[in-house]
Structure 1
Amino acid sequence: MLTNRRDLLKLSSALALVAGAGLNAPMLAQSSATLVYATGTDASSLDPQFSSDLPTIRMVRAIHETLVSADKGEIEGVLATEWSVGEDKTTWTFKLRPNVKFHDGTPFTSKAVKYSFERLVDPATGSPHKSSGNIIASIDTPDDLTVVIRTSSPFAPFLAQLTAYSMSILSPSAASVPVKEYGQKPIGTGAFKLGSWTPGEKLTLVANDAYWGTKPKLGTVEVRVVPEDSARVLMLLSGQAHVVSNIPPALAPRVESTANAGLLREQSFRSIYVAMNVKMEPFDDIKVRQAISLAIDKDALIKGVMRGMATASGSFDSPTIAGSVNYPLDPFDLAKAKQLLAEAGYPDGFSTDFYIPTGRYTNDRQLGEAIQAQLARVGIKVNLVSPEFATYQAMLRGKDKIAFYMLGKGNSTGDLDFTLNLVRRTGGSINYNNYSNPKVDELIAQQRIEVNAEKRNAMLKDIQELMQKDFGSFVLFYDNQIYGVAKSVGGLEVYPNEFINFANASLKA
């Protein structure tokens, strides 16, 4: 990560050397039709039913497809061409796309849909996303291109739920592969299939020549794992990479000013937030939680650390998602923060560990350091802790090991139920700070079965009002997606749910 002036000077020196060697030379040759994508972290398991981190999900979704998609906002058919719901609001009939084959040559049929969803909810599979399919009561396959799914009750976000990566369709041949091995041998219907994979170094996606849709213009996407932001930027500017992720705001002007590359910016659904475990001292006191929010100047973080390349909002889910209430950022008030700490019994503050990721989100380490300095002004002495991200996630899942932390949360379905069920419901799988409110739980259950959009949105508003009052976490901002892209690249698509679509990308000669 670029954390100080020394790093910036080091990069500048390196760029000068590159310039001397021909910085403005043509990008990588078109002859191989290979696009090089440099990212900060590697994928983990390529099994959609076990994926959880964004770098992995991007690869999973290049290989696998779902029945429907919400990438562009509206629900669109992918492996399903049309669908309808019966008068009982629980019987869904999907007509499937004909003449589709999996990467192993197996025909795509209704039996593949049935297999995939039953595998997801099977306790023997052990998927952490099992709850995504729990609403399904039964699946019938009257013919190869028709699947009838019955839900246990009316379920308003059902179509949105089907867009989730965990609901991807796997080849039935996966049944012959041990669950733990499928993540290294994925078989989907996507525009790309897995070529090779050297964990921690490089993964290749190879064009699926038998793809049912428009064939990819690229032969290969080579994904290189490059943790250092400065190294990724150097790869872009020197022509060693065509696309790089997470351009640091401090280096964005340098990328924009170069002749052979530019920036691709897209807002995202991802909120960067601070949370406190409401069952662990001293954060079990709401006054302490409120004081911490008041002591953090979010506007200064956006303007300073993020250099304006973030979107301000106090809503836990992006206001662009239907039903989300657009709250203002929590105010900055040091005097009030000190008063609340004194009322809570901490007039001189206290010491605490603050867990942050490093290299997972744009400028995450710098944000942690800035928050550390801001909290010191009210007597809170922060010790920054940043374990390797997989370890960090494992500790969070324990729900009793980390009391105070910063994290990012996206929304793959574009529906509030995704967050509410996983992050805010009592016992939700990523409810890491043990938030619990019986009324919120009741409303979450009710909004799921309310098919009237107006009534459902009213329930969603009530839920958000209650969450704001309980104050177990607060949003710093919404992360903007900032990619460096070579001028030779065309057709690359990035969506608010943070999926990168390489299928329509091309390289100029």
Structure 2
Amino acid sequence: MMSTTLSRRSLIAALAATPAAALAPRLSWAQAARTLTIGVVSDPVTLDPAMMASFFELSVQFNIHEPLVHVTPEMKIEPGLASVENPDPLTYRFTLKPNLTFHDGTALDAAAVKANFDRMMDPALGSPRRSELAPVDSVEVTGPTTFTIKLKTPYAPFLQVIAIRAGMMVSPTAVKTLGADFATKAVGAGPYKVVSWTKNSELVLERFDGYWRGKAPIERLVFRPIADETVRLANLRSNTVQLVDAVPAQTVAALSREANITLKQSPGLGFNAFSLNCTRAPFDNPAVRRAFVTAIDPQTVLRAVYFGTGSVAAGAIPPSIAWAYDPKFAPYKPSADAAKKLLADAGITSAVPVSITVTNSPAQVRTAEILQAQANQAGFKVEVKQIDATSLITVLRQKDFDLCMSPWSGRTDPDGNMYNYFTKTGPNNFAGYQSDKVTDLLEKARSATAEGDRAKLYREAEAAIAQDAPMLFLAFPATLQASAKGLDWVQYPDGAFRLQFARFA
């Protein structure tokens, strides 16, 4: 007993004599090896992938939920929960991996998959996935771990669609037992399971031992919403968080020189744009919409908000989808005088009042202030309205705006950037835009099988959308994220964190 006491005293003395600075990295390292804390711009709105529609669910969705197939950082499709054969354009035969389970221990079998598709496609649920799965004709269980999906018409982006939210399987048992609480306590089959969610504070996930790839290297994830970009980076520098999304573009040069931080950037798939509410004045008038779009110079936004990262957007298809992107597409030449003339030609002689709605992040507020200044010089009278990030999707869906930010994380296929936004009944058609021509073009583009044919249809659709001006396109932002130096993680073009692949070095 005496020797034990002496050894403890020796240890205490040794620790007391050790400089705190030498101890701190080791202690934080030991803690970090178990827990990764992520600073994100905003809380998600829901944890139910069938109902996800917000930009802000990106950070968490792939950590709780696993899709049927997986998309690589190079945007290639590979097996996920299932492998797939495509014997003809209308038939997809899936085979699930054996012995799959959800977080609650229930079987992830072919019957559970069918239940998921039935739920997402049920009009009563009102899932945004329903339009993404509109070409699906039937889901047939052919064995305990096999099922076949038949399409009504060829659907070129189908595998890309089920590599994200439409392919994320949830426990049918949990959906039934949790009811409305499923939105906050979702039970999936991803690498991490939900432990707790205190809204506007933290979402805690714990690794799922039954994950099909094997246990994730990091035991616990904690997502903390930190809207203020300066505070978010301060937390990264202090190691309070070890990973952050939405790195402010103006900090890229400085962060790249910091020894303890890893900065990653890549061309994104999404766009930063603003929906113009076509269902009420003043933007129910196409001439007023065209005038407003003409008044805005996206290059100014790119310089002042994105500090040269990313690229100017004239439509919804980014340069990263090279086969469909048209680098020569520039339908508007910014000009205050030209905008004034458009208003005058429409018989408008007084300043047009417009309210711009943005979330209260510095980048979005800066963007709104640029739009305000430029539009005010072109015959508009603009006010800026700031809202909380979690309120954005509600404002958009209720069309409670004149002009509202409508950022999109992007998809690996152009259909994912256009169909839901610009078809007449698209769930992301926040502008209330109604064009038979554009809807027909986008329907044809998703059913065409040759990339060349599809690219032609998308370019024709982009030209028609530009003429009608239901959306003000500004930029294709780069994906900018940063971490503590000791974290090894993979960046994806859509900006989503897939942390089953992360580990501390």
Tell me the TM-score normalised to structure 2 length.
Answer: 0.88
Q: CA offsets per residue over residues 287-335 of structure 1, 9 Å max, x none?
A: 3222222222211221123211232231222132243433248422222
Compared with structure 1, are the counterparts of its residues 284 and 23 closer, same or farther at alpha carbon in structure 2 (3 Å cutoff)?
farther
- Could you tell me which residue of structure 1 aligns to residue 475 of structure 2? 477
For the 8 Å contact 2:396–2:404, the answer to whether it is kept is: no
SS of corresponding position for 1:36:
strand
Looking at structure 1, the residues matched to 21 and 253 of structure 2 have their Cα atoms a distance apart, in angstroms, of: 20
For the 8 Å contact 1:116–1:172, the answer to whether it is kept is: yes
Q: Mean Cα displacement is larger for which, 433-442 or 340-349?
A: 340-349
RMSD of aligned Cα (Å): 2.4
Compared with structure 1, are the counterparts of its residues 232 and 420 closer, same or farther at alpha carbon in structure 2 (3 Å cutoff)?
closer
Looking at structure 2, the residues matched to 67 and 247 of structure 1 have their Cα atoms a distance apart, in angstroms, of: 30
- Could you tell me which residue of structure 1 aligns to residue 64 of structure 2? 63
For the 8 Å contact 2:277–2:430, the answer to whether it is kept is: yes
Which residue identity does 1:296 align to in structure 2? Answer: I
Looking at structure 2, the residues matched to 177 and 312 of structure 1 have their Cα atoms a distance apart, in angstroms, of: 47
- Could you tell me which residue of structure 2 aligns to residue 132 of structure 1? 132
- Could you tell me which residue of structure 2 aligns to residue 449 of structure 1? 447
Residue 242 (structure 1) shift = 0.8
Residue 387 (structure 1) shift = 2.5
Picking from 495, 500, 508, the partner of 2:497 is: 500
Q: How does 1:315-334 map to 2 (within 5 A)?
A: 315-321=315-321, 322-326=323-327, 327-328=329-330, 330-334=332-336
SS of corresponding position for 1:177:
helix
For the 8 Å contact 2:324–2:455, the answer to whether it is kept is: yes
Residue 37 (structure 1) shift = 0.7
SS of corresponding position for 1:76:
strand
- Could you tell me which residue of structure 2 aligns to residue 387 of structure 1? 387
- Could you tell me which residue of structure 2 aligns to residue 356 of structure 1? 358
Which residue identity does 2:228 align to in structure 1? Answer: E
SS of corresponding position for 1:409:
coil
Residue 273 (structure 1) shift = 1.2
- Could you tell me which residue of structure 2 aligns to residue 440 of structure 1? 438
Structure 2: 5+ residue stretches without partners: 1-19
For the 8 Å contact 2:331–2:466, the answer to whether it is kept is: no
Compared with structure 1, are the counterparts of its residues 325 and 435 closer, same or farther at alpha carbon in structure 2 (3 Å cutoff)?
farther
Looking at structure 2, the residues matched to 276 and 68 of structure 1 have their Cα atoms a distance apart, in angstroms, of: 35
Q: How does 1:97-112 map to 2 (within 5 A)?
A: 97-112=97-112
Residue 46 (structure 1) shift = 0.9
Residue 116 (structure 1) shift = 0.8
Looking at structure 2, the residues matched to 22 and 336 of structure 1 have their Cα atoms a distance apart, in angstroms, of: 62
Q: How does 1:22-421 map to 2 (within 5 A)?
A: 26=25, 28-31=28-31, 32-72=33-73, 73-86=75-88, 89-321=89-321, 322-326=323-327, 327-328=329-330, 330-359=332-361, 363-399=363-399, 401-412=400-411, 414-421=412-419
Which residue identity does 1:493 align to in structure 2? Answer: V
Looking at structure 2, the residues matched to 479 and 62 of structure 1 have their Cα atoms a distance apart, in angstroms, of: 23
- Could you tell me which residue of structure 2 aligns to residue 430 of structure 1? 428
Which residue identity does 1:478 align to in structure 2? Answer: F
Residue 175 (structure 1) shift = 4.5
Compared with structure 1, are the counterparts of its residues 461 and 374 closer, same or farther at alpha carbon in structure 2 (3 Å cutoff)?
closer
SS of corresponding position for 2:387:
coil
For the 8 Å contact 1:338–1:347, the answer to whether it is kept is: no
Q: Mean Cα displacement is larger for which, 423-432 or 168-177?
A: 168-177
Which residue identity does 1:26 align to in structure 2? Answer: P
Compared with structure 1, are the counterparts of its residues 185 and 351 closer, same or farther at alpha carbon in structure 2 (3 Å cutoff)?
closer
Looking at structure 1, the residues matched to 225 and 313 of structure 2 have their Cα atoms a distance apart, in angstroms, of: 32
SS of corresponding position for 1:493:
coil
For the 8 Å contact 1:80–1:97, the answer to whether it is kept is: yes
Looking at structure 2, the residues matched to 356 and 36 of structure 1 have their Cα atoms a distance apart, in angstroms, of: 27
For the 8 Å contact 1:125–1:179, the answer to whether it is kept is: no
Q: CA offsets per residue over residues 21-59 of structure 1, 9 Å max, x none?
A: 969963722355211111121123211111122332432
For the 8 Å contact 1:33–1:507, the answer to whether it is kept is: no
Q: CA offsets per residue over residues 88-143 of structure 1, 9 Å max, x none?
A: x3222112222322222223221121111111122343424322233222222121
Structure 1: 5+ residue stretches without partners: 1-20
For the 8 Å contact 2:84–2:92, the answer to whether it is kept is: no
Q: CA offsets per residue over residues 75-96 of structure 1, 9 Å max, x none?
A: 211111232233xx32221122
Residue 425 (structure 1) shift = 0.6
- Could you tell me which residue of structure 2 aligns to residue 16 of structure 1? none
Tell me the TM-score normalised to structure 1 length.
Answer: 0.88
Residue 365 (structure 1) shift = 0.8
For the 8 Å contact 2:71–2:77, the answer to whether it is kept is: yes
Compared with structure 1, are the counterparts of its residues 319 and 310 closer, same or farther at alpha carbon in structure 2 (3 Å cutoff)?
closer
Residue 240 (structure 1) shift = 1.3
Compared with structure 1, are the counterparts of its residues 367 and 79 closer, same or farther at alpha carbon in structure 2 (3 Å cutoff)?
same
SS of corresponding position for 2:337:
helix
For the 8 Å contact 2:358–2:404, the answer to whether it is kept is: yes
- Runs (4 or more) in structure 1 with deviation over 4 Å come to 21-25
Looking at structure 2, the residues matched to 392 and 162 of structure 1 have their Cα atoms a distance apart, in angstroms, of: 25
Asked if 1:465 corresponds to 2:463, the answer is: yes
SS of corresponding position for 2:206:
strand
For the 8 Å contact 1:24–1:259, the answer to whether it is kept is: no
Which residue identity does 1:52 align to in structure 2? Answer: A
Q: Mean Cα displacement is larger for which, 245-254 or 39-48?
A: 245-254
Looking at structure 1, the residues matched to 66 and 415 of structure 2 have their Cα atoms a distance apart, in angstroms, of: 21
Looking at structure 2, the residues matched to 157 and 257 of structure 1 have their Cα atoms a distance apart, in angstroms, of: 40
Looking at structure 1, the residues matched to 417 and 22 of structure 2 have their Cα atoms a distance apart, in angstroms, of: 45
Compared with structure 1, are the counterparts of its residues 194 and 335 closer, same or farther at alpha carbon in structure 2 (3 Å cutoff)?
same
Residue 272 (structure 1) shift = 0.9
Looking at structure 2, the residues matched to 329 and 500 of structure 1 have their Cα atoms a distance apart, in angstroms, of: 35
Picking from 484, 488, 503, the partner of 2:486 is: 488
For the 8 Å contact 1:66–1:167, the answer to whether it is kept is: yes
For the 8 Å contact 1:50–1:166, the answer to whether it is kept is: no
For the 8 Å contact 2:174–2:187, the answer to whether it is kept is: yes
Looking at structure 2, the residues matched to 275 and 128 of structure 1 have their Cα atoms a distance apart, in angstroms, of: 18
Which residue identity does 1:58 align to in structure 2? Answer: S
Looking at structure 1, the residues matched to 271 and 23 of structure 2 have their Cα atoms a distance apart, in angstroms, of: 37
For the 8 Å contact 1:26–1:239, the answer to whether it is kept is: no
For the 8 Å contact 1:285–1:344, the answer to whether it is kept is: no
Instruction: Look at both structures and tell me which one has the larger radius of gyration over its CA atoms.
Output: 2
Looking at structure 2, the residues matched to 70 and 283 of structure 1 have their Cα atoms a distance apart, in angstroms, of: 38
For the 8 Å contact 1:325–1:464, the answer to whether it is kept is: no
Compared with structure 1, are the counterparts of its residues 196 and 467 closer, same or farther at alpha carbon in structure 2 (3 Å cutoff)?
same
Looking at structure 2, the residues matched to 214 and 167 of structure 1 have their Cα atoms a distance apart, in angstroms, of: 20
Compared with structure 1, are the counterparts of its residues 426 and 125 closer, same or farther at alpha carbon in structure 2 (3 Å cutoff)?
closer
Looking at structure 2, the residues matched to 276 and 23 of structure 1 have their Cα atoms a distance apart, in angstroms, of: 56
For the 8 Å contact 1:425–1:444, the answer to whether it is kept is: yes
Looking at structure 2, the residues matched to 23 and 39 of structure 1 have their Cα atoms a distance apart, in angstroms, of: 30
